[in-house]
Structure 1
Amino acid sequence: MSVLKKEVIPYLENMIYLPMVLTILERDRLLIQHGDFKLKKPYLGLVDEVAKCVHKELGNTAAYLRMNQLSVIRGKMDDIFTEYIFVHNHQEDCRRYLNVRLRNRTEELLTQYLRQPGI
């Protein structure tokens, strides 16, 4: 039985997915900078704005986790699964995520951030 309340799971999962989104944005920024783009500035601006938004969300998530004494630890990885351990009050809840699911959810989040109005 899980030691975690359902409402904290999205925050814990944000600590998995948001760093992945930032990694992708950083890599894409480098590709745009060094790529053969005629007009790089608009693309770089978009990537920077999205990264800023993701950083803010990650900061809010980290604050929530600190306030509620929660943490996320990456466990074992293989070609199919990645294990994450969610810790609360010295109790651990070990969850395994399909790597394909991690990739797909990261892509969904990136798409959501890119479509946000004002970015």
Structure 2
Amino acid sequence: MTKIPENDRNIIEQAIYLPMLLIILNRDLTIIENSPFKLKKPYTDWIEETMRTIQKELADVKRYMRQQQIKVEKIKSDDTFTMYMFLYKGYEEQHNYFNPRLRNRTEELMMYYLFQRFQPPSITRKAQTP
């Protein structure tokens, strides 16, 4: 049983997913810059602005984790699972994340940051917000 409250678990998961999003968007940005698009600037600007938003949120997450004495460390990864160690106010917990779940949640967050965050709250489902 975990000793980490749900709110802090959500913050910890943001500390896992947001860096993944930045890596993916950075790779996509490189692909667009090296592609034969005639008008690259709208795409690159859109991705760069999204990355800035994610970076700001990640900075807030890291600040909160530092204040609350929370650390996250990736321990190991294989084809099926990725294991993380959470240090929470002196307690240590290890959690396995199913890799397809990591990928799917990252994709959900990418959809949110690229599109859904611009939608009125009534359209965006609460479960898909970070």
RMSD: 1.1
Pairing of 1:39-78 with structure 2 (within 5 A):
39-78=39-78
Mark the runs of 5 or more structure 2 residues left unpaired by the alignment.
120-130
Identity %: 42
TM-score (norm 2): 0.88
TM-score (norm 1): 0.95
Find runs of 4+ consecutive structure 1 residues off by over 3 angstroms: none
**Number of residue pairs matched?**
118
Pairing of 1:1-119 with structure 2 (within 5 A):
1-115=1-115, 116-117=117-118
Could you tell me whether the CA contact under 8 Å between 1:22 and 1:54 is conserved in 2?
A: yes
Mark the runs of 5 or more structure 1 residues left unpaired by the alignment.
none
Distance 2:78 2:112 in 1: 28
**RCO greater where, 1 or 2, for CA within 8 Å and sep 6 or more?**
1
Could you tell me whether the CA contact under 8 Å between 2:68 and 2:89 is conserved in 1?
A: no
Q: CA deviation at 1:85?
A: 0.9
Distance 1:40 1:72 in 2: 36
